[in-house]
């Protein structure tokens, strides 16, 4: 089998890239190790920057997002028992769109299926070869049969644990990482959100987040120990802990119910440099990870894809300069989002060995933040997403 671009991974990065390339007339094949249902079963954040909304529209998959998504004009920070609203729209002229990543992925999958674009789910033993030359090859097995995909470029959209970054020689890549000493215990429940906008909580007992998927489905998180197991947390224990971290009046309005999903996610900051190795490109989680505090994961994946799509489309139009600049352009934006996500995580969480001084610094920064229009604007412009270059 031959194609122009082999895309490894059918998460948001791979599917969005495939959709944009197809609309630009660039042939591509998506190879995914899991089933479509398994991919859709992943529960991930869903706060979309305007840049991401525009890209999904450009890809022709924005209809349901506009119909069912929830535009949010503000976000709240809660500390010392007080809630403070950051007026995103008033401070930046922009809002964010709350629309679950699962739904973004579902819309992209449906569009790809409707266009009957070549997609191999449950591809096993995927391996990438020859990307340091002009004739890269992807090998995989499917239903026991060995296959070889000859291509001109490989897009590594295979996430943090994928095969593409792992196939790059160690001496050719630099890895930058910070692992945080806590996790997020998340619960999805079919109950109305406690507030119409998101609430990020800094509390003595730990961080909490009140988020949502719709007006009838909520997503909540509490910071937990990395030694915790989700199954050790009963629903009642979760709801009680969340209530202890919320102001009394807010906790009183919290509607609880049975969890339909409960899981613990570790927090990590990670960047690989560069993101291009000959004819292999890394995009999305394959190239970087952010702690979810800044809601940047999906948005960074989308802007990587935008840069890579533009570069590949230009290449096939006979202009290779954009492709040559992919890694530098993507990394410039990635590092700014990494900084914001790290700063929000450092500001809002209880660090086990942080000591009283670190706690005082958090309290001073939060007090300054909500008293300064300049500081709130700085937070707001990062949260809604910095302009693409």
Residues in contact with ligand APR by CB under 6 A are 8-14, 31-34, 39, 44, 101, 123, 126, 157-159, 162-163, 284-285, 297-298, 301
193, burial (CB in 10 Å: exposed 0-12, middle 13-18, buried 19+)? buried
Say how far residue 389 (Cα) sits from the centre of its chain: 20
Tallying the residues shown for the chain, one arrives at 389
Establish if 292 lies at the interface with ligand PHB (CB under 6 A). Answer: yes
The site partner of 83 among ligand APR, ligand PHB, none (C-beta below 5 to 8 Å per kind) is none
The site partner of 195 among ligand PHB, ligand APR, none (C-beta below 5 to 8 Å per kind) is none
Nearer to ligand PHB, 190 or 314 (CB): 190
Nearer to ligand APR, 259 or 299 (CB): 299
Q: Site residues for ligand PHB, window 226-265 (CB under 6 A)?
A: none
Q: Compute how many other C-beta atoms are within 10 angstroms of the C-beta atom of residue 313.
A: 18
The site partner of 13 among ligand PHB, ligand APR, none (C-beta below 5 to 8 Å per kind) is ligand APR
The site partner of 224 among ligand PHB, ligand APR, none (C-beta below 5 to 8 Å per kind) is none
What tokens does 108 get? 């992209």
Active site residues per annotation: 72, 200, 292, 296, 383
Residues 171/241, Cβ–Cβ less than 8 Å: no
Closest approach of ligand APR to the CB of residue 100, in Å: 10
Among 295, 302, 308, 337, binds ligand PHB (CB under 6 A): 295
Q: Compute how many other C-beta atoms are within 10 angstroms of the C-beta atom of residue 359.
A: 14
Nearer to ligand PHB, 316 or 340 (CB): 340
Among 92, 223, 293, 382, binds ligand PHB (CB under 6 A): 293
Nearer to ligand PHB, 201 or 313 (CB): 201
| Separation of alpha carbons 102 and 106, rounded Å | 6
Contacts of 145 (CB under 8 A, 6+ apart): none
| Separation of alpha carbons 216 and 238, rounded Å | 19
The site partner of 59 among ligand PHB, ligand APR, none (C-beta below 5 to 8 Å per kind) is none
Q: Site residues for ligand PHB, window 21-60 (CB under 6 A)?
A: 45-47
Nearer to ligand APR, 83 or 288 (CB): 288
371, burial (CB in 10 Å: exposed 0-12, middle 13-18, buried 19+)? exposed
The site partner of 380 among ligand APR, ligand PHB, none (C-beta below 5 to 8 Å per kind) is none
81, burial (CB in 10 Å: exposed 0-12, middle 13-18, buried 19+)? exposed
Closest approach of ligand APR to the CB of residue 71, in Å: 19
Residues 39/10, Cβ–Cβ less than 8 Å: yes
Closest approach of ligand APR to the CB of residue 28, in Å: 14
Task: For strands 280-282 and 276-277, give the pairing.
Answer: antiparallel
| Separation of alpha carbons 124 and 250, rounded Å | 48
Nearer to ligand APR, 18 or 284 (CB): 284
Q: Write out the E strands in 229-330.
A: 259-273, 276-277, 280-282, 288-289
Establish if 219 lies at the interface with ligand PHB (CB under 6 A). Answer: yes
The site partner of 211 among ligand APR, ligand PHB, none (C-beta below 5 to 8 Å per kind) is ligand PHB
Closest approach of ligand PHB to the CB of residue 298, in Å: 10
Nearer to ligand PHB, 53 or 295 (CB): 295
| Separation of alpha carbons 16 and 11, rounded Å | 8
Q: Which stretch binds ligand PHB (CB under 6 A): 31-39, 145-153, 266-274, 290-298?
A: 290-298
**Cα–Cα distance list, 341 to 181, 268, 292, 300, 359 (Å):** 15, 10, 7, 11, 18
- Binding residues for ligand PHB, per CB under 6 A? 45-47, 198, 209, 211, 219, 292-293, 295
């Amino acid at each position: 089998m031959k194609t122009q671009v082999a895309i490894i991974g059918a998460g948001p990065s791979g599917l969005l890239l495939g959709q944009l390339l197809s609309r630009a007339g660039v042939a591509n094949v998506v190879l995914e190790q899991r089933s479509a249902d398994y991919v859709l079963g992943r529960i991930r954040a869903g706060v979309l920057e305007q840049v991401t909304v525009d890209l999904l529209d450009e890809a022709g998959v924005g209809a349901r997002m506009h119909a069912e998504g929830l535009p949010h004009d503000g976000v709240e920070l809660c500390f010392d028992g007080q809630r403070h609203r950051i007026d995103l729209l008033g401070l930046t002229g922009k809002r964010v769109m709350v629309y679950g990543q699962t739904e973004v992925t579902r819309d992209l999958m449906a569009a790809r299926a409707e266009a009957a674009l070549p997609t191999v789910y449950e591809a096993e033993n995927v391996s990438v070869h020859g990307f340091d030359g002009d004739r890269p090859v992807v090998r995989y097995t499917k239903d026991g049969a060995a296959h070889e995909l000859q291509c001109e470029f490989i897009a590594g959209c295979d996430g943090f644990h994928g095969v593409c970054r792992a196939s790059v020689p160690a001496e050719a890549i630099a890895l930058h990482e910070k692992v945080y000493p806590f996790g997020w215990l998340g619960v999805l429940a079919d109950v109305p959100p406690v507030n119409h906008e998101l609430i990020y909580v800094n509390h003595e007992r730990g961080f909490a987040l009140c988020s949502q998927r719709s007006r009838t489905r909520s997503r909540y998180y509490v910071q937990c120990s990395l030694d915790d197991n989700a199954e050790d947390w009963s629903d009642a224990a979760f709801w009680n802990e969340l209530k202890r971290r919320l102001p009394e009046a807010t906790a009183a309005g919290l509607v609880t119910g049975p969890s339909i999903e409960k899981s613990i996610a570790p927090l990590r900051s990670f960047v690989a440099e560069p993101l291009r190795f000959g004819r292999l490109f890394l995009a999305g989680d394959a190239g970087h990870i952010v702690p979810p505090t800044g809601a940047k994961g999906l948005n960074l994946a989308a802007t990587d894809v935008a840069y890579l799509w533009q570069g590949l489309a230009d290449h096939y139009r006979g202009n290779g300069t954009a492709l040559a600049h992919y890694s530098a352009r993507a990394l410039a934006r990635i590092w700014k989002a990494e900084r914001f996500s790290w700063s929000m995580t450092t500001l809002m969480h209880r660090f086990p060995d942080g000591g009283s001084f670190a706690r005082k610094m958090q309290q001073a920064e939060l007090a300054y933040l909500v008293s300064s229009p300049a500081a709130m604007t700085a937070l707001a412009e990062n949260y809604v997403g910095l302009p693409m270059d």
